[in-house]
Amino acid sequence: MARYGPNEHDVLIVGGGGAGLRAAIAVAETNPELSIAVVSKVYPMRSHTVSAEGGSAAVIKDNDSFDDHAYDTISGGDWLCDQDAVEAFVKEAPKELLQLEHWGCPWSREEDGSIAVRSFGGMTNKRTWFAADKTGFHLLHTMFQTTMKYDPIQRYDEYYVTRLLVDNGRCQGVVAIELATGKIEAIAARSVIMCTGGCGRIFPFTTNGNIKTGDGMAFAYREGVPLKDMEFVQYHPTGLPFTGILITEAARAEGGHLLNKDGYRYLQDYDLGEPKPEPIHRSMELGPRDRLSQAFEKEEEKGRTIEGPYGSYIHLDIQHLGEEIIDRKLPFVRELCLKYENIDPVKEMIPVRPVVHYMMGGIDTDIHGATKLDGLYAAGETACVSINGANRLGSNSLTELLVFGARAGQAAAEFASEQKPFSSALEALATDESRRIEKGFFSENGSNPESIASIRQEMYQAMEKGVGIYRSEDSLERSQEKIQELQERLMNVSIEDHSYTFNTELVAALELSNMLDISEAIIQSALQRTESRGSHQRVNYPDRDDEHFLAHSMAYKSEVGPPKIEYQPVTITRWPPGERVYGH
């Protein structure tokens, strides 16, 4: 198309995970005339969506209803979800999963040929679709292959975005480094969709892969877009000690038990119901993740967990399911245990402990994925719509990528179709950025050079101590100071590798600066929320306080020092705040 320069597009999507690819397809379908760029720091199939195991939630069976799915999501989120967003989400969810099926996604089937669904934590009914325990892989793969049929979609694989191009109050593209050559260039676009995923990597012990450094959140934040509800960090109750590799919730949905060091199903002591041999919805091992991870901490305090070389743990026992069911329904669980722990879950118990897993918070958007900055949209884990509130239910995230990826794609396509002209300042902005990178990281910085590894290590410590499962004012304040100190010390980092091809050290430094900015937003939001809600538990404020905090935290970046936190009301449509009841 002649009207485009080499690096000019209508819609640019940062991220080739589930949200990014779904958005790209939506743009192509909304307006086939638009030129689309998908920019990703790794090959799209290496995006983290690929490792989702358990499944994707959507109402499909006759005994289920949209209202049930909505209520489960809202109560699971401790009433911090925006209910208009949740209502849209549950209604569009089945359409999206069926759409995927039409694109060739091999959903697992029941004997009669209909879609198979499984139970998941916090859900009243079976509504989690799965492709054995490789759901994320098949979901992403199906969309990746589908994007290949649209000519207007152009991929920039292994390009690392370093900032947004914003001029005249409008987002008009990004600056990116082509990793293979080290070339820094502007890629202009009439609208940009951030689909950069979560930021679990700011914690030392996480299920998240190396690439989940929250880059997109940091870019939006630096341009004045608020980060919403950042204090809500999900700990998944069952990670393998040391590696943090996730044992999917499906293991409990199929009937796995959590046992303390005495072999006792301890969840019965935490208001999560009576132990029954069969799994019961919204009860015991099928309670929500925040409550299960909190129960672990209490059990640890009582000295009823098991001490191991990599921290204390409890046992997940699936032996009673038998080899046949384990191999048929949870083959990947067995594979992971054998390969990483040298344990066969058919004959042995699996050691597990809570592990950082998911960010409920993210870039603030409306229900169309639009941010407060013109031309900038966001979807997926990096965004906060919010349907997850204070605690996400397992299997809602994959569906969220599809529903809100599609919505953001459509909205961004409509915005781009207005064909607003590009500012002339874009090239200059890109030149500034490449100078910033070279000056900031390649020059000798003073007499006291810092190492990336040590700053990262200290960030891990600060985050683990300050914003763990239970948080105190004191530790939060100390972590906030630490992060500020680290931000200053990062200025003194000088990179030894000056080569331009695959400079992993440079990328590590840029990612670290993003993670530090996000960390300050998480800590400050946590500090100011003096209540306990969902995954955010404050030691001296054990109760939920709807009077003051039935509101989203909005973190705005400050020139210096911690961010400014404002509050935005939660949208309530049909479900007034109530008590979260599980196990009854």
Partner 1 sequence: MAEEFSIHLKVWRQEGPDQPGKLVDYTLNNVNEHMSFLEMLDVLNEQIVAEGKEDPVEFDYDCREGICGSCNLVINGRAHGPKAMTCTCQLHMRNYSDGDTIVVEPFRAKAFPVIKDLVVDRSAFDRIVEVGGYVSIKTGSAPDANSIPIDKSVADTAFDYATCIGCGACVAACPNSSASLFTGAKLAHLNRLPQGEPERKKRTIAMVEQMEEEGFGDCSNYAECEAVCPKGISISAIAEMRRNYMKAALAGEEV
Enumerate binding residues for ligand FAD (CB under 6 A).
14-20, 39-42, 44, 47-49, 51-56, 135-136, 159-161, 195-198, 207-208, 211-212, 215-216, 246, 358, 380-382, 394-398, 401
Closer residue to partner 1 in complex, CB, 46/353: 46
Residue of closest CB approach to ligand FAD: 17
Structure-token match 């009301």, residue found: 569
Q: Which of 9, 138, 252, 282 is catalytic?
A: 252
Binding of residue 444 to partner 1 (CB under 8 A):
no
Helices (H) and strands (E) in the chain, counts: 15, 21
- Are the C-beta atoms of 117 and 4 separated by less than 8 Å? no
Binding of residue 132 to partner 1 (CB under 8 A):
yes
Among 3, 102, 347, 584, contact with partner 1 (rule: CB under 8 A): 102
Helices 504-528/473-490 angle, 10° precision: 150
Binding of residue 454 to partner 1 (CB under 8 A):
no
Using CB distances below 5 to 8 A depending on partner kind, what does residue 197 bind out of ligand FAD, partner 1, none?
ligand FAD
Using CB distances below 5 to 8 A depending on partner kind, what does residue 14 bind out of ligand FAD, partner 1, none?
ligand FAD
Measured from the CB of residue 167, what is the shortest distance to partner 1 in angstroms?
34
Active site residue 580: no
Binding of residue 450 to partner 1 (CB under 8 A):
no
HEC sequence for 269-287: HHCCCCCCCCCCCCCHHHC
Measured from the CB of residue 423, what is the shortest distance to ligand FAD in angstroms?
22
Q: Amino acid letter at 131?
A: A
Residue numbers 165-204 binding partner 1 by CB under 8 A: 180
Closer residue to ligand FAD in complex, CB, 395/553: 395
Closer residue to partner 1 in complex, CB, 248/480: 248
Cα–Cα distances in angstroms (integers) from residue 131 to residues 128, 335, 564, in the given order: 10, 16, 43
- Are the C-beta atoms of 406 and 385 separated by less than 8 Å? no
Measured from the CB of residue 77, what is the shortest distance to ligand FAD in angstroms?
14
Closer residue to partner 1 in complex, CB, 153/349: 153
**Under DSSP, is residue 435 helix (H, G, I), strand (E, B) or coil?**
helix
Please give the helix or strand (H or E) that residue 227 lies within, else none. Answer: strand 227-228
Nearest to 514 by CA among 221, 172, 227, 232: 221
Q: For the stretch 372-403, what's the b/e string if a residue is b when 16 or more beta carbons lie within 10 angstroms of its beta carbon?
A: ebebbbbbbbbbbbbbbbbbbbbbbbbbbbbb
Nearest to 259 by CA among 298, 312, 304: 304
Closer residue to partner 1 in complex, CB, 11/50: 50
Name the H helices within 444-580.
452-466, 473-490, 504-528, 546-549
Measured from the CB of residue 101, what is the shortest distance to partner 1 in angstroms?
6
Stretch that binds partner 1, among 143-151, 422-430, 472-480, 510-518 (CB under 8 A): 143-151
Binding of residue 545 to partner 1 (CB under 8 A):
no
Rounded Cα gap, residues 245 and 239, in angstroms: 5
Active site residue 252: yes
Measured from the CB of residue 263, what is the shortest distance to ligand FAD in angstroms?
28
Closer residue to ligand FAD in complex, CB, 215/231: 215
**Residues in Cβ contact with 251 at an 8 Å cutoff, skipping those fewer than 6 apart:** 238, 316, 318, 330, 333, 350
Rounded Cα gap, residues 570 and 234, in angstroms: 20
Binding of residue 502 to partner 1 (CB under 8 A):
yes
Binding of residue 325 to partner 1 (CB under 8 A):
no
- What's the distance, CA 367 to chain centroid? 18
Residue numbers 149-168 binding partner 1 by CB under 8 A: 149
Binding of residue 141 to partner 1 (CB under 8 A):
yes
Q: Which of 141, 236, 289, 456 is catalytic?
A: 236
Q: What are phi and psi of 227, to 5 degrees?
A: -95, 130
Using CB distances below 5 to 8 A depending on partner kind, what does residue 535 bind out of partner 1, ligand FAD, none?
none
Binding of residue 94 to partner 1 (CB under 8 A):
yes
- Are the C-beta atoms of 199 and 212 separated by less than 8 Å? yes
Structure-token match 């700990």, residue found: 235
Using CB distances below 5 to 8 A depending on partner kind, what does residue 104 bind out of ligand FAD, partner 1, none?
partner 1
Closer residue to ligand FAD in complex, CB, 371/395: 395
Using CB distances below 5 to 8 A depending on partner kind, what does residue 362 bind out of partner 1, ligand FAD, none?
none
Measured from the CB of residue 291, what is the shortest distance to partner 1 in angstroms?
27
Q: Are strands 183-194 and 376-378 parallel, antiparallel or unpaired?
A: parallel
Rounded Cα gap, residues 296 and 266, in angstroms: 9
Rounded Cα gap, residues 108 and 135, in angstroms: 9
CB neighbourhood size of 299 (10 A): 21
Closer residue to ligand FAD in complex, CB, 108/382: 382
For binding to partner 1 (CB under 8 A), which residues are involved?
42-43, 45-46, 50-51, 60, 94-95, 98-99, 101-104, 106-115, 131-132, 134, 136-138, 141, 145-146, 148-149, 180, 209-211, 245, 335-336, 339, 342, 496-497, 499, 501-502
Active site residues: 236, 252
